[in-house]
Amino acid sequence: MAAASIELNNKLTCPQLGLGTWQSAPGDIYNAVKHAISIGYRHIDCAWIYGNEKEVGRAIKEKIEDKTVTREELFIVTKLWNLFHSRNQVVPACKESLSNLGLDYIDLYLVHWPVAQTISEIKTIDLSLIKDANFVDVDYVETWEGMEDCVRLGLAKSIGLSNFNTKQVRRVLDHAKIKPVMNQIEVSPNLTQKKLIKFCKDNDIAVTAYSPLGSPARPWAKPGDGVVSLDNPQIVSIGEKYGKTSAQVILRFLVQIGTIPIPKSSNKERVEKNIDIFDFELTPEEVKVLESFNCDGRAVPADDFKASKYFPFNED
Ligand SMILES: NC(=O)C1=CN([C@@H]2O[C@H](COP(=O)(O)OP(=O)(O)OC[C@H]3O[C@@H](n4cnc5c(N)ncnc54)[C@H](OP(=O)(O)O)[C@@H]3O)[C@@H](O)[C@H]2O)C=CC1
Ligand SMILES: O=C1CO[C@H](CO)[C@@H](O)[C@@H]1O
């Protein structure tokens, strides 16, 4: 199985489906990444804050060593955390992720949030880092200069954004010497993000769809809150027509609206199913059915960041 690819504004190609790695239990992610690469995944989405870059890196190294794949065939993404937003912190943070992953370059390095934070000490990488950190006024335009340094030094082939709203993307574009190639945002049938996707496309910025299945395992999830129902009878019935599961219908929908979904799974069968979406096509009417579930509901509302002046979700 292989995903289709899309060309980024710097001419690199990005596989149009990737493996998410947030919230995989230790041990699980190593197995999931190895299995994913074995069956054809070439795009892996990581982040420093997920605390598992080392495990992901070990799996990648082994799949390169056993000749399943070459480094050049892989598209590895990771993200700069909020604690490292000053320009002089960005290159060291990128180098730390590279060292964790055991790589000498990242295909795409993203600013994880426009929000900057500081903390007196980093003990473990977990949610306490978010709760215990304070906000600082580091403008993400300064952070972007540090991201550009990573490209100049050959540490990252491409750079991009995550969780930036329209105005924030515009400000980066106005100042950038190297344009962002990507904005990674939440997109699912519950949150179709039509305006922001159009804005990004109009500015030659690709869109990655995170939490494509509504992130049912997120720690703050409440029953029925923001989770796209895989039992929805309309989605189930569309799936029956093509011999696909509801999750596959949703992922196919996200591909057809031009985004790059990155579902997380550490279950072998679901890892396989999630990439098996490139052999059928939803009709325009079926796409409309999926779009009709939009309620602008977020799986990742990021309430912890609301007090920051750079909080992105107060406007489009
Ligand atoms: N930039 C950002 O701020 C953010 C980025 N992300 C990225 O996006 C990725 C995906 O988002 P995430 O929030 O993890 O949520 P997803 O929407 O990908 O949902 C993952 C959950 O769905 C389950 N699942 C996966 N495939 C299927 C399937 N075919 N059928 C039924 N259930 C399934 C998984 O369980 P199981 O493992 O048991 O299969 C897991 O519990 C993250 O892992 C991360 O890499 C996510 C949030 C924010
Ligand atoms: O990618 C994400 C998931 O994990 C983080 C919390 O640990 C979120 O803040 C973030 O957006």
> Which atom of ligand 1 approaches the CA of 32 most closely?
37
**Atom 5, ligand 2: residue with shortest CA distance:** 49
Closest-CA residue, ligand 2 atom 9, reads 302
**Cα 127 to averaged position of ligand 2 atoms, centre (Å):** 8
Domain locations along the chain: 5-309
For residue 215, what pLDDT is reported? 87
Sorting pLDDT into bands at 50, 70 and 90, what band is 225?
low
Complex ipTM above 0.90? yes
State residue 316's pLDDT score. 73
User: Given this model, what pLDDT does residue 223 score?
Assistant: 61
For 71-95, the pLDDT digits (tens) are 999 999 999 999 999 999 999 999 9
| Cα-to-centroid distance, 103 and ligand 2 (Å) | 23
Which residue puts its alpha carbon closest to atom 35 of ligand 1?
Answer: 265
CB 157 within 8 A of CB 72: no
Q: Is the CB of 47 under 6 A from ligand 2?
A: yes
Q: Which of 50, 109, 210, 310 is catalytic?
A: 50
Ligand nearest to the CA of 262: 1
* 130-168 residue pLDDT tens: 989 999 999 999 999 999 999 999 999 999 999 999 999
pLDDT tens digits, residue range 280-299? 999 999 999 999 999 998 99
Q: Nearest C-alpha to atom 6 of ligand 2 is from which residue?
A: 127
Of all protein residues, the one whose alpha carbon is nearest to atom 3 of ligand 2 is 22
Ligand 2 atom closest to the CA of 162, numbered from 1: 11
Cα of 227 from ligand 1 centre, angstroms: 11
Read off the tokens for 223: 């029953």
289 Cα–ligand 1 center, Å: 22
> Has 112 been labeled as part of a binding site?
yes
Q: pLDDT tens digit string along 163-208?
A: 999 999 999 999 999 999 999 999 999 999 999 999 999 999 999 9
**Which residues sit with their C-beta closer than 6 Å to ligand 1?**
20-23, 45, 112, 162-163, 184, 210-218, 230, 245, 247, 262-267, 270, 273-274, 300
> Does 127 contact ligand 2 (Cβ within 6 A)?
yes
Greater pLDDT, 243 or 231: 243
Q: Above 70 in pLDDT, residue 239? A: yes
Which residue type sits at 223? P
- Cβ 300 under 6 angstroms from ligand 2: yes
Overall CATH class of domain 5-309: alpha beta
pLDDT above 70 coverage of the chain, percent: 98
Ligand nearest to the CA of 20: 1
Check residues 229 and 64 and name the one with the higher pLDDT: 64
Q: Please report, for residues 23, 251, 299, the alpha-carbon distance to residue 148 in angstroms, rounded to integers and kept in the order given.
A: 29, 32, 30
- Residue 310 known to be catalytic: no
Q: Are 208 and 185 in contact (CB under 8 A)?
A: yes
Closest CA to 312 of 112, 34, 120, 76: 112
* Residue indicated by tokens 């473990």: 124
